[in-house]
Amino acid sequence: MPFVELETSLPAARLPPGLALELCNAAAAILGKPAERVNVTVRSGLPMVLSGSAEPCAQLIVSSIGVVGSAEQNREHSARFFDFLTAQLGLGAERIVIRFFPLEPWQIGKNRTVMTFL
């Protein structure tokens, strides 16, 4: 059950229509998870500074069980997410940062329990 959060200083009007759904589908393909299990949040128009600059930027936070736990996995994921984000947001790669967080099944609640028991 991946959680993908895109935060950007770009105003909502500059984001492509349907970005959240496109990001959901891209994350599913990149992480090898069904789209029905991917959770996406897009936050736009945020006051942000990246690398000391307030120029338009974005950060992507990717949390998941089992697929973001190694440097090798995340190197591949990073390249594919950067390809998607630079194309969709019109930002250079230097204005985007990605943070990966591995999760354990007991850290995600669903259906009145945690994923460990589902």
**Known catalytic residues?**
2
DSSP 8-state secondary structure symbol assigned to residue 70: S
Q: DSSP letter for 109, please.
A: E
Going from the C-alpha of 116 to that of each of 61, 70, 96, the distances in angstroms are 23, 21, 33
From residue 1, alpha-carbon distances to 10, 31, 32, 66 in Å are: 27, 10, 11, 10
Whole-angstrom distance, CA of residue 94 vs CA of residue 72? 21
